[in-house]
Amino acid sequence: MVRPPCCGEDEEKVKKGPWTAEEDAKLVDYITNKGHTNWKSLPKLAGLNRCGKSCRLRWTNYLRPDIKRGKFSDEEERLIINLHSVLSNK
């Protein structure tokens, strides 16, 4: 049995590929004001021509305000090394 695509074939064509700054702004604005309870209906409500899965992944991996980017601090690096020495590659 083949799994159906996340965006039904009967729906209008959804955009694929890189996100634009305008799309990012629409997604952030909508989630900031209304939240994200139903990812499947969110794109239409936010005025985006994307599928819900794409919106969820974009928010989760790139746009969330609590995402920390950059190098590990010295303390974080020491913690990782210590935990690796204790737990190995389990």
Place 9 in a pLDDT band, splitting at 50, 70 and 90: low
The reply to whether 80 falls in a domain is yes
The predicted structure's pLDDT at residue 13: 82
The reply to whether 28 falls in a domain is yes
Contact 58, 27 (CB under 8 A): yes
The reply to whether 25 falls in a domain is yes
CB atoms within 10 A of CB 50: 22
Q: Please indicate, yes or no, whether the overall pTM of this predicted structure exceeds 0.85.
A: no
> What does the block give as tokens for 30?
């909508």
The reply to whether 12 falls in a domain is no
Q: List, for residues 37-75, the tens digit of each pLDDT value.
A: 899 999 999 999 999 999 999 999 999 999 988 999 999
Into how many domains does the chain fold?
1
Domain that holds residue 82: 21-87
How far apart (Å, rounded) are the C-alpha atoms in residues 6 and 45? 17
The reply to whether 68 falls in a domain is yes
Contact 58, 17 (CB under 8 A): no
> Residue 2 burial (CB < 10 Å; 0-12/13-18/19+)?
exposed
Q: List, for residues 23-46, the tens digit of each pLDDT value.
A: 999 999 999 999 988 999 999 999
The reply to whether 59 falls in a domain is yes
